[in-house]
Amino acid sequence: MTVDVEDYFHVSVFDGVIPRRRWDDLESRVSANTERLLEIFADYEVRATFFVLGWVADRFPQLVGRIAALGHEVASHGYGHRLIYDQTPRAFREDVRRAKDLLESASGAPVLGYRAPSYSITPRSLWALDVLIEEGYRYDASIFPIRHDRYGISVSPRHPYLIHRRAGVLVEAPGSTTAVGPMNLPVAGGGYFRILPYAWTRWGSGRVNRREHRPAIFYLHPWEIDPDQPKLPAGVLGRFRHYRNLRLTERRLRRLLGDFRFGPMTTVLNHEPQPTRAAQPSFALPYLW
C-alpha cells in the first residue's frame, strides 16, 4: 500500500494552470487528508509507505513525524513535483537530496525509496536512476510498464526487479498491471481505482496474487478522498482524471483494505523471492541494462 503525499494543487494536471509561486497562497488540505488516511489505515491495521513531497515535509514536518510514529514507512516523492524529464540532472539531484534530508530529519529514519512525480522515469530520463543510487536511495517506484501519454516504459518488467546501472544497483518496484493479450493494463491505484468500477481493481490485483503469486503495488493520494477540495481550472481530460468519483473513493478504499492484506514497500520487497536479475525474462531493454 503506497500513498503519494501531496496537495491537490501539486498534481501535474495543474502544471501551467497554477504557478508554483501561488502554491503557498492556496488553502492546504494535505495534512487533514493524510490524517484521515492514517485513521482509515488504523481501522484495518494496515501499515503503508508514504512517498512524501519535500515541499510538504518543509511546511508540515510534524505530519511526517506522525506517519513514522504510527509505524508506516516514510519515502520520498522529491521536493518540488517537477517532471523528471523537464529537469536537468543537476536540478534533479538537488531536488531529491533536499527531499531526503527533510524527510529523514522529520521522520528520524533513513529514507530508502523514491517515486517520481507522475511516474516520470521514461526512456529519456533513465539517467535519474544513477542520481538516485548516488544519493543513497535503495529502491525506485517510478517506472510504469504501460503506454500512457505522460509516462511509462511499456516493455519494462511488471514485477519488482533489479536495475544495474553505472552507479550501482537499484530495486525497481513498478505499479501493478495485469497482462491482457499484448497489453499491460494498470490495476492498482490512482485514476484507475477511482474512474473504473472497484471490481476492476479487485479482479486485477487478485489475478496478480493468485496467478502470478506476486504482490500488487497499490497507490493513491490524500486529495483523492477529499471531495470538498477547491476546484481548479484544467482541460476536459485533466478535470475528468482529477475529479471523477472523489466521493466514492473512501468507501472503495475501505473495501479494498478489507479484501486484501497490505504492508509497506520495504516489507513487501524484503519478502519477495525475487527480485533478481536472472529472474527477468528476455525483454529487449538496451536502454535499461
Q: Which residue, 189 or 275, has its beta carbon nearer to Zn ion?
A: 189
Query: Minimum Å distance from CB 210 to Zn ion?
Result: 30
Sequence-ordered list of residues with C-beta below 8 angstroms from that of 43, at least 6 positions apart, any chain: 254, 257
- d(CA 92, CA 270) in angstroms, rounded, equals 28
CB burial of residue 226 (10 Å; 0-12, 13-18, 19+): buried
Cα 58 → chain centroid: 19
b/e code 182-210 from CB counts within 10 Å (16+ = b): eebebbbbbbbbbebebebbbebbebbee
3-state secondary structure of 113: strand
Query: Minimum Å distance from CB 135 to Zn ion?
Result: 19
Query: Minimum Å distance from CB 158 to Zn ion?
Result: 22
Query: Minimum Å distance from CB 68 to Zn ion?
Result: 20
- d(CA 15, CA 20) in angstroms, rounded, equals 8
Q: Which residue, 7 or 178, has its beta carbon nearer to Zn ion?
A: 7
Alpha-helical runs (H) found in the chain: 30-43, 54-59, 61-69, 89-107, 127-134, 190-195, 198-212, 236-243, 246-259, 265-271
Q: Which residue, 142 or 178, has its beta carbon nearer to Zn ion?
A: 142
Q: Are 81 and 13 in contact (CB under 8 A)?
A: no
- Grid coordinates belonging to 1: 500500500
Q: Which residue, 215 or 222, has its beta carbon nearer to Zn ion?
A: 222
- Grid coordinates belonging to 126: 533513465
Query: Minimum Å distance from CB 8 to Zn ion?
Result: 11
Query: Minimum Å distance from CB 13 to Zn ion?
Result: 10
Query: Minimum Å distance from CB 81 to Zn ion?
Result: 6
Residue 169 φ/ψ region, left for φ over 0, alpha for ψ in the -120 to 50 degree band, beta for the rest: beta
Contacts with Zn ion by CB under 5 A lie at: 4, 6, 117
Query: Minimum Å distance from CB 182 to Zn ion?
Result: 29
Q: Which residue, 77 or 165, has its beta carbon nearer to Zn ion?
A: 77
CB burial of residue 248 (10 Å; 0-12, 13-18, 19+): middle
